[in-house]
């Protein structure tokens, strides 16, 4: 049997028990928060010291392959679009480029470069992005997926980004991160070397991240929030619960967030997301998130930053646990395949498989050891 078929069979047969998921019951089904309209005018915020006026809700294009969804977002007034060179093997940038050809001056595009030790390769990556996006420049260029405070303002990062701005390939620059986000934001705020930061941020995160976001915003950094839906579980999987507008509203109550970029794939999703702009966070929203939180407890890593302990082997467990989110929340075999092309991540999984127990504990009850073992057993 081919590796591809082996993986499909494995994914289909995976069970909640094998993933080490909690058995917390989902409370009363149904969507308790108020429905919001997509007819209201867009809400605008300022993207930090860039001065760019961005809609409070942007669009994370990573999982979208339908041009009509981007056009619907545009018609709803959404003006900020997040993509990256690595998404869909470059096809995601190409989609954005095709859709917004002829509308370039009416939208703001953010893309990312995964830095290597080769400046030539980094430059080639940016040039390829510009070609795919059918533009001479991007509004925001981010270094993709930084992990340590030391990387934030390292000469390799800052000098490359400054060169991109000087050469007119990027108007503004910054970084993205899924790991140690509070520490990275604090370092960036202190150093003053970035215009924009894209970080995971949702209702499960602790005050530590919220405080770091405030510090970064005070320093002039435009904070963009991703992973706002904490896994993006579908209503059908949660007995009808649809908390995603509530989750997005929660993030937008933090005025230190310039814009949120929920990942959407369908017309319904972009209508729901754009519809929260300018609306209040209600008691019904709070109740919906309480029920959603009960569903998520122990189920998936929401990148909340509440891990206790450190891996003695330096394994970045949050990178590995994102694969579980791609399966259990997003239901995307493509994202899993793309993640497992990273040989470093696969090697980390192998190291975890050799441990009798995990030295890291999750404050939300995720069985990290069981989930790391599951990722290790996915055929590659």
Q: Which domains does the chain have, with CATH numbers?
A: 3-24+298-376 (no CATH), 44-279 (3.20.20.100)
Contacts of 242 (CB under 8 A, 6+ apart): 31, 235, 288
**Residue 256 φ/ψ region, left for φ over 0, alpha for ψ in the -120 to 50 degree band, beta for the rest:** alpha
Residue 7 has what pLDDT? 47
Residue 27 has what pLDDT? 46
pLDDT in tens, the chain (380 residues): 344 444 444 444 444 544 555 444 454 444 434 444 456 799 999 999 999 999 999 999 999 999 999 999 999 999 999 999 999 999 999 999 999 999 999 999 999 999 999 999 999 999 999 999 999 999 999 999 999 999 999 999 999 999 999 999 999 999 999 989 999 999 999 999 999 999 999 999 989 999 999 999 999 999 999 999 998 898 889 989 999 999 999 999 999 999 999 999 999 999 999 999 999 999 999 999 999 999 999 998 888 877 888 888 778 788 888 888 888 888 888 888 888 888 777 777 777 777 878 888 888 999 888 888 888 888 76
Through-space distance between the first and last CA atoms of the chain, rounded to whole angstroms: 13
Which residue's structure tokens are 């929340």? Answer: 329
Positive or negative CA dihedral for 192, 195, 198, 201? Answer: positive
Collapsing DSSP states into helix, strand and coil, what is residue 199?
A: strand
Q: In the chain, how many H helices and how many E strands? A: 16, 12
Which residue's structure tokens are 């891996």? Answer: 311
Residue 104 has what pLDDT? 97
DSSP state for residue 68 in the 8-state scheme: H
What burial class does residue 91 get, using C-beta atoms within 10 Å of its C-beta: 0-12 exposed, 13-18 middle, 19+ buried? exposed
Residue 84 has what pLDDT? 97
Contacts of 314 (CB under 8 A, 6+ apart): none
In angstroms, the CA 87 to CA 301 distance is: 21
Which residue's structure tokens are 């995976």? Answer: 14
In angstroms, the CA 368 to CA 19 distance is: 9
Which residue's structure tokens are 């094998």? Answer: 18
**Crossing angle between the packed helical segments 91-99 and 119-133, to the nearest 10 degrees:** 40
* Residue burial 177-207, b: 16+ Cβ < 10 Å; e: rest: bbbbbbbbbbbbbeeebbbbbbbbbbbbbee
In angstroms, the CA 29 to CA 155 distance is: 52
Residue 21 has what pLDDT? 54
């Amino acid at each position: 049997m081919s590796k591809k078929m082996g993986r499909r069979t494995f994914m289909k047969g995976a069970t909640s028990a094998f993933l080490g998921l909690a058995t917390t019951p989902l409370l009363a089904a149904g969507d308790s928060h108020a429905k919001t309209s997509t007819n209201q005018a867009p809400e605008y915020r300022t993207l930090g010291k860039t001065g760019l006026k961005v809609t409070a809700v942007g669009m994370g294009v990573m999982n979208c392959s339908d041009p009509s969804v981007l056009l619907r977002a545009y018609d709803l007034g959404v003006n900020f679009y997040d993509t990256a060179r690595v998404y869909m093997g470059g096809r995601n940038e190409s989609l954005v480029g095709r859709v917004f050809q002829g509308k370039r001056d009416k939208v703001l595009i953010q893309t990312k470069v995964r830095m290597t030790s080769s400046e030539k390769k980094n430059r080639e990556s940016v040039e390829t992005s510009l070609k795919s996006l059918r533009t001479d420049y991007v509004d925001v260029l981010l270094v993709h997926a930084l992990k340590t405070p030391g990387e934030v303002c390292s000469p390799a990062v800052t000098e490359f980004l400054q060169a991109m701005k000087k050469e007119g390939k990027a108007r503004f620059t910054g970084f993205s991160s899924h790991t140690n986000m509070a520490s990275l934001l604090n370092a960036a705020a202190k150093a003053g070397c970035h215009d924009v930061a894209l970080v995971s941020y949702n209702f499960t995160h602790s005050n530590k991240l919220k405080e770091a976001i405030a510090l970064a915003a005070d320093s002039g950094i435009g904070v963009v929030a991703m992973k706002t839906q904490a896994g993006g579980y579908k209503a059908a999987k949660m007995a009808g619960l649809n908390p995603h507008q509530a989750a997005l509203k929660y993030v937008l109550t933090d005025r230190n967030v310039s814009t949120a970029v929920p990942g959407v794939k369908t017309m319904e999703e972009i209508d729901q997301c754009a519809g929260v702009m300018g609306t209040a966070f209600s008691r019904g929203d709070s109740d919906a998130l309480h029920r959603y939180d009960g569903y998520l407890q122990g189920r998936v890593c929401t990148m909340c930053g509440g891990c206790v302990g450190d891996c003695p082997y330096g394994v970045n467990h949050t990178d590995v646990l994102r694969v579980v989110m791609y399966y259990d929340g997003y239901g995307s075999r493509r994202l899993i395949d793309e993640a497992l092309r990273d040989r470093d991540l696969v090697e980390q999984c192998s190291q975890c498989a050799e441990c009798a127990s995990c030295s890291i504990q999750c404050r939300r009850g995720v069985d990290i050891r069981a989930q790391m073992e599951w990722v290790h057993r996915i055929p590659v």
